[in-house]
């Protein structure tokens, strides 16, 4: 399959170039030339398939023409080796738990798939690939773990100083070997801008082979569509009501993956893009004009994005028609106070514990369902284990939640990150050094 730039549909590249370069030279985003429709036979069998079997079917539709079937099966089975169970919160509201992977966040799906795909794509070249990653929280740890000790790849992770949780920082900033971390004096948007500027620096790219593992890379966000199929298959065994997916949204890769799943034939009734105080997308749906804003720090920090990258893909999917987008997606913004309140309310009333991001997703679903007359069911994406935000969650519920062993393993390690300014000149000098 070929991939085009959202800024130039005549700019077509192979899967290898789209994955290894990450961004087109025109600063657009790569998109598959077509989004394939899956067979009715596949959907008829959905309820009897495993997550890995569904993932292989979807992956084959996008990557099957470019990879040996044996390699693709290995990529899927080695990357997606954990579950994503659907839990009922109450009535017709469910939580899809996406935190059962290595780093206990949904980013494990895309990062692990991408690392294995990339290792196959570069297996016959002798030049090191330098991956640049901006993170507001969980992307960095998932990418670091996914690519750790992968031959031929060096990863540099940028994260905003003082704006990620303690556990997230320990997962990001304590690794060695082929993983380097930069603690940037700025916001996530500053980190993201440094990465984008590096990709557009032609002189730098002549000297260093750069790639990205953010959701701007097609190999990162497409695998996130896998669990939409798995969620719906689980839900259909419990309810026959039309399904709404509420997605905690920051850089909008997760939501974009859902739109792809629907275009592939998955019967999704509607999407909710639930955001925190970083509300550029709800404003866009209201007035039809997208205006990036500086990101605001919140307790749902992985969503602290004022200029979401993947909106370019959503605009492309809908040909920049805001009315068409509004038919598929509703979006609401919620404060930290509302987020804390719903974490406590749901925990007290049902015993289910949401993390701050899932809590924003719950609030978005609650608001949308409350505005509809139709009898619907909703799925909230619980994107990270609540213990990753222990300080916030403990205070809200008045408890002391246990830290899983997989997270405990990162605590107490010595930080290896280097602190730098948000000036591109400093970042460029670091890369050349």
pLDDT per residue over 337-366, tens digit each? 999 999 999 999 999 999 999 999 999 999
**CA distance linking residue 361 with residue 272, whole number of Å:** 8
Can you give the pLDDT at residue 123? 74
The pair of structure tokens assigned to 379 is 């799925």
**CA distance linking residue 307 with residue 291, whole number of Å:** 8
Model's pTM, two decimal places?
Answer: 0.90
Percent over 90 (pLDDT), the chain: 80
- The C-alpha angle 363, 367, 372, rounded to 5 degrees, equals 145
pLDDT per residue over 266-318, tens digit each? 999 999 999 999 999 999 999 999 999 998 999 999 899 999 999 999 999 99
How many residues are recorded in the chain? Answer: 433
Q: Listing from the earlier edge strand, what are the strands of the sheet with 30-32?
A: 8-13, 3-5, 30-32
pLDDT per residue over 133-170, tens digit each? 998 777 888 888 888 888 889 999 999 999 888 888 99
B/e letters for 198-220, b = 16+ CB within 10 Å, e = fewer, are bbebeebeeebbbbbbbbbbbbb
Ranges of the chain whose pLDDT falls below 50: none
Can you give the pLDDT at residue 124? 63
Can you give the pLDDT at residue 268? 98
Can you give the pLDDT at residue 126? 67
Can you give the pLDDT at residue 406? 86
Q: Domains (ranges, CATH) in the chain?
A: 83-103+221-402 (3.40.50.1100)
């Amino acid at each position: 399959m070929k991939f085009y730039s959202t800024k130039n549909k005549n700019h077509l590249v192979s899967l290898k170039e789209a994955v290894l370069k990450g961004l087109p030279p025109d600063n657009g985003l790569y998109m598959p030339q077509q989004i394939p429709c899956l067979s009715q036979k596949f959907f008829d069998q959905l309820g009897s398939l495993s997550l890995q079997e569904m993932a292989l079917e979807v992956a084959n539709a996008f990557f099957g023409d470019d990879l040996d079937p044996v390699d693709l099966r290995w990529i899927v089975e080695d990357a997606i080796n954990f579950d994503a169970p659907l839990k009922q919160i109450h009535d017709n509201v469910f939580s899809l738990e996406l935190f059962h992977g290595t780093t206990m966040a949904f980013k494990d799906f895309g990062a692990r798939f991408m690392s294995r795909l990339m290792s196959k794509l570069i297996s016959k070249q002798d030049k090191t690939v330098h991956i640049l990653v901006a993170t507001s929280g969980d992307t960095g740890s998932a990418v670091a773990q996914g690519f750790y000790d992968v031959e031929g790849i060096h990863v540099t992770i940028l994260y905003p100083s003082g704006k990620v949780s303690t556990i997230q920082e320990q997962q990001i900033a304590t690794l060695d070997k082929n993983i380097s971390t930069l603690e940037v004096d700025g916001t996530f948007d500053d980190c993201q801008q440094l990465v984008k500027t590096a990709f557009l620096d032609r002189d730098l790219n002549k000297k260093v082979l750069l790639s990205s593992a953010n959701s701007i890379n097609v190999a990162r966000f497409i695998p996130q569509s896998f669990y939409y199929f798995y969620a719906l298959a689980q839900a259909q065994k419990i309810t026959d009501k039309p399904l709404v997916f509420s997605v905690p949204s920051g850089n909008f890769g997760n939501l974009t993956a859902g739109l792809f799943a629907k275009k592939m034939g998955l019967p999704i009734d509607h999407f909710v893009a639930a955001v925190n105080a970083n509300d550029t997308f709800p404003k866009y749906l209201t007035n039809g004009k997208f205006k990036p804003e500086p990101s605001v720090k919140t307790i749902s920090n992985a969503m602290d994005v004022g200029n979401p990258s993947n909106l370019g893909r959503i605009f492309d999917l809908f040909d920049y028609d805001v009315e068409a987008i509004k038919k598929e997606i509703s979006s609401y913004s919620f404060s930290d106070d509302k987020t804390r309140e719903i974490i406590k309310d749901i925990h007290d009333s049902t015993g289910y514990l949401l993390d701050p991001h899932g809590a924003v997703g719950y609030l978005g679903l609650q608001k949308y369902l409350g505005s509809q007359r139709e009898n619907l069911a909703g799925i909230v994406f619980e994107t990270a284990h609540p213990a990753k935000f222990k300080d916030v969650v403990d205070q809200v519920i008045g408890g002391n939640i246990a830290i899983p062993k997989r997270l405990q393993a990162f605590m107490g390690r010595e930080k290896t990150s280097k602190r730098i300014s948000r000036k591109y000149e400093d970042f460029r000098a670091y890369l050349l050094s």
